[in-house]
């Protein structure tokens, strides 16, 4: 009887372990939801900031000593492929963050282990996507701010200061968003690691 | 006696499980070493290709209709901050790949679980670093190839074709290197996942 009772207790404990394995602990699930919501907000803000960023100025262009033209010039994201990539990447990451947030909230503890694994891989991919977009926009931003005399690319931020500041703010949001995705990936791996080591 | 024998067998099995948990299966360790060596080779090749990439040309600069200057111009990585970042990022990723390859080879099955976790996080960070460097160099590459009339940044690849081709090759190697790091991170998570779910 004692042996049976022990076996039954062990069985219950084993079932409890399986449940624990399928259900991420609360300490991990709360930061997961918060970080996902943060990534959603940051990438949405970054995409919107770039999308609405537009500045028009009258710029003086010197053709010769006696001829100076005054041209109305506009700065907007469609004019630079790096900013198009930046906006699209943030929109993709934002859509993914929204979809994964809904899934994680609705499925909750009932979500399958394979789905959790797929979400982890996608979190990592989103981090990479946002970092590549940040790199692209930063590279253009540096030239726009300081120019490059070696290739005769003149700086433009002295004329479109407001546009450049807004782009820099969007870049910062995107960078923080990518760190949120990195943290999501690391938290999941640490949780898996604990489970694997507690065998 | 039977109970004792079973308990002893279970104990041995439990010890076996712990050993299995500490020691990554061979099926995962082999791709791990290969991918790490691949990442090392790719990032080293990318860094060297950018480091030695240099092209000098005599370029004609038209000052006015009657005055055209012939200037000796040189293209090299130090002249563009995005390429400096690209080279440094690849050098950092290459050094890390070499150090982690040595560690994984020497420590082998005896490496601690925490060290394996730290390596996984660093693999993910290296992927992000390489992707941001790829994004930065691609953004500059697009302008160098096609120019941008909106900001009056002229294309330069028509004059420095060989330089641009070598940079494009280095960019491709860096991109493949970043996918090698992504694959390393994903393989580790899949391995952990299997262990956690096999409880």
The string of DSSP codes covering chain B is -HHHHHHHHHHHHHHHHHHHHHS--HHHHHHHHHHHHHHHHHHHHHHHHHHH-EEEEEEEEEEETTEEEEEEEEEEGGG-HHHHHHHHHHHHHHHHHHHHHHHHHHHGGGS-HHHHHHHHHHHHHHHHHHHHHHHHHHHHHHHHHH-BTTTTB---TTTSHHHHHHHHHHHHHHHHHHHHHHHHHHHHHHHHHHHHHT-
Whether the pLDDT of residue B50 is over 70: the answer is yes
- Banded pLDDT at A21 (limits 50, 70, 90): very low
Are B142 and A82 inside 8 Å of each other by CB? yes
Whether the pLDDT of residue B114 is over 90: the answer is no
- Banded pLDDT at B95 (limits 50, 70, 90): very high
Q: Where are the domains of chain B?
A: 32-197
User: What SS3 class is residue A23?
Assistant: coil
The token pair at A167 is 């782009």
| Mean pLDDT, rounded, for B84-95 | 97
Q: What is the pLDDT of residue A5?
A: 45
| Mean pLDDT, rounded, for A59-66 | 74
Contacts with A83 from chain B: Cβ below 8 Å: none
| Mean pLDDT, rounded, for A116-143 | 96
Instruction: Decide if A195 touches B, using CB distance below 8 A.
Output: yes
Q: Name the β-bridge partners of B75.
A: B55
Q: What is the pLDDT of residue A195?
A: 82
Q: What is the pLDDT of residue B106?
A: 87
- Banded pLDDT at B143 (limits 50, 70, 90): very high
- Banded pLDDT at B198 (limits 50, 70, 90): confident
Question: CB-CB: which of A3, A80, A182 is closest to B124?
Answer: A182
Residues 6+ apart with CB under 8 A from A51: A77, A87
Are A199 and B18 inside 8 Å of each other by CB? yes
Q: Which of A12-21, B46-55, B158-167 has the lowest mean pLDDT?
A: A12-21
**Mean pLDDT, rounded, of chain B:** 84
Instruction: Decide if B189 touches A, using CB distance below 8 A.
Output: yes
Q: Mark which residues 36-55 of B lie under 8 Å from A by CB.
A: none
Instruction: Decide if B81 touches A, using CB distance below 8 A.
Output: yes
pLDDT in tens, B5-45: 444 444 444 444 444 444 454 444 788 999 999 999 999 99
Say what the alpha-carbon torsion angle B36, B38, B43, B46 is, to the nearest 10 degrees: 180
Contacts with A180 from chain B: Cβ below 8 Å: none
Contacts with A136 from chain B: Cβ below 8 Å: 135-136, 138-139
Q: What is the pLDDT of residue B27?
A: 44
Chain B closest-CA separation from residue A134 CA (Å) = 7
| Mean pLDDT, rounded, for A143-161 | 92
Instruction: Decide if A186 touches B, using CB distance below 8 A.
Output: yes
Q: Mark which residues 137-166 of A lie under 8 Å from B by CB.
A: 137-140, 142-144, 148, 150-154, 156
Decide if A125 contacts B182 (C-beta within 8 A).
Answer: yes
């Amino acid at each position: 009887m004692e042996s049976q009772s022990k076996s039954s207790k062990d069985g219950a404990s084993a079932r409890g372990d399986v449940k624990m394995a399928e259900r991420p602990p609360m300490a991990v699930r709360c930061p997961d939801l918060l970080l996902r919501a943060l990534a959603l907000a940051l990438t949405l803000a970054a995409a919107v900031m770039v999308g609405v960023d537009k500045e028009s100025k009258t710029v003086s262009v010197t053709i010769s000593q006696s001829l100076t033209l005054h041209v109305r010039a506009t700065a907007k994201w469609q004019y630079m492929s790096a900013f198009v990539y930046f906006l699209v990447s943030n929109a993709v990451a934002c859509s993914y963050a929204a979809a994964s947030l809904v899934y994680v909230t609705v499925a909750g503890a009932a979500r399958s282990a394979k789905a959790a694994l797929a979400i982890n891989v996608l979190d990592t991919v989103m981090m990479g996507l946002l970092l590549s977009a940040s790199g692209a926009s930063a590279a253009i931003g540096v030239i726009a701010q300081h120019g490059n005399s070696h290739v005769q690319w003149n700086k433009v931020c002295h004329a479109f200061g407001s546009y450049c500041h807004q782009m820099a703010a969007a870049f910062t949001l995107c960078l923080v968003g990518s760190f949120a995705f990195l943290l999501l990936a690391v938290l999941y791996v640490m949780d898996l690691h604990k489970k694997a080591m507690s065998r």
